[in-house]
């Protein structure tokens, strides 16, 4: 705050500086309040989610759709379907960013050759990326490379 004129009495000077300080403190409080409201809470996506992954018939492979649970903790998603190391197992991991976008990575083992592009045998390892966009209660996404697949996330109550 800049004053163009000095007040004549000490009491007036104190009043001007007190009012000026109150205005400045009020402005700072408003600024920090706006920043606090604008900063997203990294745990707002935390909780239990249900994932539905669907892939249509593509390139000679049969389509499929399955549902499995996921957990998000501190904005990091982890999900598994099936038994680790066994055909049909799938793991999905990744971070959900402050804006709700997520780059997830799926890794797994082919469950049955007719459902795999190239008819790869059961137990063959695979991996691919999924891009998703989250809100606090749902999300949608798609497979980035390879066959076209969609993913839908719904938050459990």
User: 71: which residues sit within 8 A by CB, 6+ positions away?
Assistant: 47, 48, 49, 77, 78, 79
Q: What is the pLDDT of residues 44-63, one digit of tens each?
A: 999 999 999 999 999 999 99
* Per-residue pLDDT tens digits for 19-41: 444 444 444 444 444 444 556 78
* Residue-wise pLDDT tens digits, 102-137: 999 999 999 999 999 999 999 999 999 999 999 999
Cα distances from 16 to residues 13, 21, 28, 30, 97, in angstroms, run: 5, 8, 18, 21, 46
β-bridge mates for residue 140, sequence order: 133, 152
Mapped onto helix, strand or coil, the DSSP state of residue 46 is coil
Coil vs helix vs strand at 39:
coil
- State whether CATH 2.40.160 applies to domain 47-155: yes
- What does the alpha-carbon distance between residue 66 and residue 132 come to, in Å, rounded to a whole number? 17
């Amino acid at each position: 705050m800049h004053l163009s004129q000095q007040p004549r009495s000490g009491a007036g000077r104190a009043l001007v500086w007190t009012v000026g300080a109150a205005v400045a403190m009020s402005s700072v409080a408003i600024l920090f309040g706006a920043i606090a409201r604008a900063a997203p809470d990294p745990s707002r996506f935390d909780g239990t989610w249900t994932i539905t992954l669907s892939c249509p018939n593509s390139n000679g492979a049969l389509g499929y759709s399955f549902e499995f649970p996921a957990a998000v903790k501190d904005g990091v998603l982890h999900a598994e379907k099936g038994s680790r190391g066994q055909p049909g197992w799938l793991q999905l991991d990744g971070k959900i960013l402050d804006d709700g976008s997520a780059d997830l990575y799926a890794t797994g083992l082919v469950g049955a050759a007719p459902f795999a592009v190239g008819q790869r045998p059961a137990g063959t390892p695979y991996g691919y990326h999924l891009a998703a966009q989250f809100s606090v209660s749902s999300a949608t996404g798609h497979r980035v490379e390879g066959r076209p697949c969609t993913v839908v996330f719904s938050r459990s109550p």
